[in-house]
Structure 1
Amino acid sequence: MSIEFLLCIGTIFMIAGIGMPIAYAILIASFVYLAAAGQDIGLAGKILLDGLYNSFILLAVPLFIVAANIMNAGTISDRLLGFCVALVGRFRGGLGHVNVVASLIFSGMSGSAVADAAGIGKIIIEMMTRSGHYTRGYAAAITAASATIGPIIPPSIPMVLYALVSNSSIGYLFLGGIVPGLLMGLVLMAMNYWLSLRRGFALEDPVPLAELPRRTVTAFPALMMPAILLYGIYGGVTTPTEAAAVAAFYALVLASMFYRALRLRALMEILIDSARSSAAVGLVIGGALILNYVVASENIPNLLAAQLVGLDVHPLVFIFAVNLLLLLLGCLLDATTIILVVIPLFIPTCRELGIDLVHFGVVAVVNCMIGLITPPYGILLFVINAVTRIPLGEIIHEIWLFLGVLLLALLAMILFPGLVLWLPRSFGYAG
């Protein structure tokens, strides 16, 4: 490991430590490495353009962001919530169950945990606190926990990024996330039910069963989006990137023409906001492409793989160690940075140890999503705090039990790879 590389790593920690966004820290540190190594800084531009030119799949990221923002701006989220209330609101902890089920459905449209929490999450928190049956902290905590499901059930922006760095099939990664996403929803609903019994949360007024068909019909066009996306990808009709474009177009047609809830001025604001969000992700991707060149120049992935293979590490021990590291990093770094910068270091070792890259990728993405609600960084906690003004201390006080059951679900995915690989294998995956 050269002095130039140590200087690069030190620059990242120093700049990030003074509060500068991690994307800028990575970019500046990469420039420092190129300058210290005597390489032309203009090389960074070539690396960036080559990386983007060879990564057509990255177009899916801004398209999924647009789709999610349109969903939040129209009345689509309200209609989905009305359907969920009629479906599960009658049970103990009803609105908590509604929260989780709404996240499961919305996750099939947005691919973003932040979009889930800031959009449909804000609405359900207001419903839970207005009912008087739940504390502000509890409503915010279960919302943050359920929002982590968003990028697990397809479509998924983090899985698109993982496919970029691992050359894995995005279609099989999407399939691999379905059962884990449902498992996460199940354990959250079980914890919500147990807490509702223990704390004596009052039952909600049930929506008459006769009302369920009407609400189902109202929400049906929105409920069709996940089915259209999955059929397009796995039926061979569209690529994942084209499916993202279909999602954005379908959301636009639903909100503007079918539900008539989206005006031209609102659409312009959505496009501007989506461009800003995409640019923020793009900065991290650009920095990661250059930093990955630095890491490859230092031959670090191969050195790491050689060291671990030389130690005769058992694959299960390796996966546990990597996941423990990712959990620790998740307390400090955002998921995009971990997926683009840290996870590529371990992919050569996975290949050497015979670890399936689809299984590893889904587990790693789930791990990164859990990091979104892990104090002290926990970006979802800050997002919900920002959109609801619920004190951060109240949210953190309630998040621990939900965090615990999600970790148990992660452990099950590690120990039983079939939870991840069953669906991909059913569709012809040979891994």
Structure 2
Amino acid sequence: MMGLSPFESCVILLIALAIAGLPIALSMISASIFYLFAADLDPGTVAEQILNGLYNSYVLLAVPLFILAADLMNMGSLTDRLLRFCLMLVGRFRGGLGHVNIVSNIIFAGMSGSAIADAVGIGRIIINMMTRNGKYPVAYAAAITASAAIIGPIIPPSIPMVIYALISNASIGYLFLGGVIPGLMLGVAFMVMNAIIARRRGYPIEPPVKLREVPRATVEAFPALLLPVVLLFGIYGGVTTPTEGAAAAAAYALLAAAVIYRSLTPRQLYEVLLSSGKATTSVGMLIAGALAFNYVVTIENIPVTVQHFIQGFDLSKAGFLLLVNGILLILGCLLEGTTILLIIVPIFIPTANALGIDIVHFGVVVVVNIMIGLVTPPFGLLLFIVANMTRQPLIAVVRECLPFILAAITMLAVITFIPETVLWLPHLMGYKG
């Protein structure tokens, strides 16, 4: 491209290919190869960077294992049993099914690590429960389902945190711990917002579960509730690495679905493996594209340039975090979260380190930002998923989501400027960062 540097041409080509409809992963790989040709460098370097990044990173193996565990737990009668357990806990309050939606997502957060898996797996059932007999408007049921699903990747396990650990060298175990309190805070904020809306609109109270049914509901849900315990005990008890813990979680999910609940047929297992393989391939392609493009960014010394540019404004820690929050919230409206994690966030990490910002705290703030992006218009992925699932106009779902987006941004501000909300639990478990 005449008059442009190789990097400028690379960025323009990347944007043009993405706008033309080429998957973002292939757009990044193509643009990176073009840059190497334009800069008279060896184009085989792209393949080398991808292979080194994918095959030398043991931590990446946790991603397909968490995806498999989530798909196994979403299969069969498990979801019904957990929803009955949640109904027993919070169904008796005003707007009870809205609370059930949020609490069930908090529980599923300890199993899947994926917002999309939570929205699709539990979403259909809880939306049907909420809209049956006209108890709740369909758009509201869709909105609270999408909003509650963003809790999934904040409470461990978390696929975005695994990817953040890859690009930052932060400890996955301490990142997982750092997400626990922010995830619970987000759940409480959503429940408060649901209670306010339910009282204002007169949403119903569910009949209380009879006392004699409580033990049975608890026993039926107990094997599923043990999955987060198996995972976290393995990691923080020093028994397994996070990747080995993911394997243990997948094995336990298979045991629970096939043996304990007897709800997994060979045909369903095949479908689960196929679905998990497709999801893993999608994430793997994004990571491959990001590895290639990040090599280009590194050659051009972009992170250091950005660091010097930001330092020119003499920002404090709080000022830098405020700037990053603003940028990520805007980008979350336009880009897919994994792309932001792999392309944009690495540029900010050197500056965060230079300012003395804790890398675990920064990682949790980044992940919460990206999760909020999943429910912010115009391109929030969860909005499209629930709107398609319920056949509701996107604008109607967005309108109902706005109070929950406001609650999420409020919690983001709290965890950004009060680091101990993130770091208290890691410090309790020996984190020295």
| Pair 1:349 & 2:351 matched | yes
Aligned equivalent of 1:175? 177
Q: Which amino acid aligns with 1:339?
A: L
Aligned equivalent of 2:286? 284
Bigger shift: residues 142-151 or 209-218: 209-218
Question: How many Å separate the matches in 1 of 2:368 and 2:236?
Answer: 22
Question: How many Å separate the matches in 2 of 1:316 and 1:22?
Answer: 32
Q: Per-residue displacement from partner, 1:409-430 (whole Å, max 9, x unpaired)?
A: 0000111111000000001111
Question: How many Å separate the matches in 1 of 2:283 and 2:302?
Answer: 25
Aligned equivalent of 2:12? 10
State the aligned residue count: 430
Bigger shift: residues 314-323 or 301-310: 301-310
Aligned equivalent of 1:76? 78
Q: Matched residue of 2:296: which SS? A: helix
Question: How many Å separate the matches in 2 of 1:320 and 1:84?
Answer: 36
Question: Shift in Å at residue 131 of structure 1?
Answer: 4.2
Question: How many Å separate the matches in 1 of 2:320 and 2:248?
Answer: 39
Question: How many Å separate the matches in 2 of 1:85 and 1:212?
Answer: 10
Report if the CA contact (8 A) 2:96-2:204 is conserved: no
Aligned equivalent of 2:46? 44
Question: Shift in Å at residue 386 of structure 1?
Answer: 2.9
Q: Per-residue displacement from partner, 1:212-268 (whole Å, max 9, x unpaired)?
A: 221011100100111111100000000000111111111111101111000001101
Question: How many Å separate the matches in 1 of 2:410 and 2:191?
Answer: 14
| % same residue | 56
Q: Matched residue of 2:152: which SS? A: coil
Report if the CA contact (8 A) 2:90-2:96 is conserved: yes
Selected match of 2:128 from 112, 126, 132:
126
Q: How does 1:209-358 map to 2 (within 5 A)?
A: 209-358=211-360
Report if the CA contact (8 A) 1:136-1:394 is conserved: no
Question: Shift in Å at residue 40 of structure 1?
Answer: 2.0
Report if the CA contact (8 A) 1:87-1:212 is conserved: no
Q: Which amino acid aligns with 1:381?
A: L
Question: How many Å separate the matches in 1 of 2:353 and 2:379?
Answer: 32
Q: Which amino acid aligns with 2:239?
A: V
Question: Shift in Å at residue 307 of structure 1?
Answer: 2.5
Report if the CA contact (8 A) 1:374-1:403 is conserved: yes
Q: Matched residue of 1:90: which SS? A: coil
Question: How many Å separate the matches in 2 of 1:74 and 1:295?
Answer: 45
Q: Matched residue of 1:109: which SS? A: coil
Unmatched tracts of structure 1, length 5 or more: none
Q: Which amino acid aligns with 2:369?
A: N
Report if the CA contact (8 A) 1:86-1:209 is conserved: no
Selected match of 1:19 from 14, 18, 21:
21
Q: Which amino acid aligns with 1:95?
A: L
Report if the CA contact (8 A) 1:149-1:185 is conserved: yes
Q: TM-score, normalised by structure 1?
A: 0.98
Q: Per-residue displacement from partner, 1:153-182 (whole Å, max 9, x unpaired)?
A: 000000000000000000000000000000
Question: How many Å separate the matches in 2 of 1:240 and 1:131?
Answer: 44
Question: Shift in Å at residue 97 of structure 1?
Answer: 0.2
Question: How many Å separate the matches in 2 of 1:340 and 1:74?
Answer: 34
Question: How many Å separate the matches in 2 of 1:291 and 1:83?
Answer: 46
Aligned equivalent of 1:86? 88
Question: How many Å separate the matches in 2 of 1:115 and 1:143?
Answer: 12
Aligned equivalent of 1:161? 163
Report if the CA contact (8 A) 1:335-1:371 is conserved: yes
Question: How many Å separate the matches in 2 of 1:182 and 1:105?
Answer: 10
Q: Matched residue of 1:260: which SS? A: coil
| Pair 1:62 & 2:64 matched | yes
Question: How many Å separate the matches in 2 of 1:383 and 1:190?
Answer: 25
Question: How many Å separate the matches in 2 of 1:317 and 1:297?
Answer: 28
Question: How many Å separate the matches in 1 of 2:406 and 2:133?
Answer: 27
Question: How many Å separate the matches in 1 of 2:133 and 2:345?
Answer: 43
Question: Shift in Å at residue 71 of structure 1?
Answer: 1.0
Q: Matched residue of 2:263: which SS? A: coil
Bigger shift: residues 10-19 or 213-222: 10-19
Report if the CA contact (8 A) 1:103-1:146 is conserved: yes
Q: Which amino acid aligns with 2:138?
A: R
Question: Shift in Å at residue 210 of structure 1?
Answer: 2.7
Q: Per-residue displacement from partner, 1:44-89 (whole Å, max 9, x unpaired)?
A: 1111111112211001111111111111112111111110011110
Question: How many Å separate the matches in 2 of 1:260 and 1:359?
Answer: 41
Aligned equivalent of 2:392? 390
Selected match of 1:188 from 187, 190, 195:
190
Selected match of 1:197 from 186, 196, 199:
199
Aligned equivalent of 1:414? 416
Q: TM-score, normalised by structure 2?
A: 0.98
Question: How many Å separate the matches in 1 of 2:329 and 2:84?
Answer: 35
Q: Which amino acid aligns with 2:210?
A: P
Question: Shift in Å at residue 209 of structure 1?
Answer: 2.9
Unmatched tracts of structure 2, length 5 or more: none
Q: Which amino acid aligns with 2:379?
A: Y
Report if the CA contact (8 A) 2:29-2:46 is conserved: no
Question: How many Å separate the matches in 1 of 2:44 and 2:309?
Answer: 34
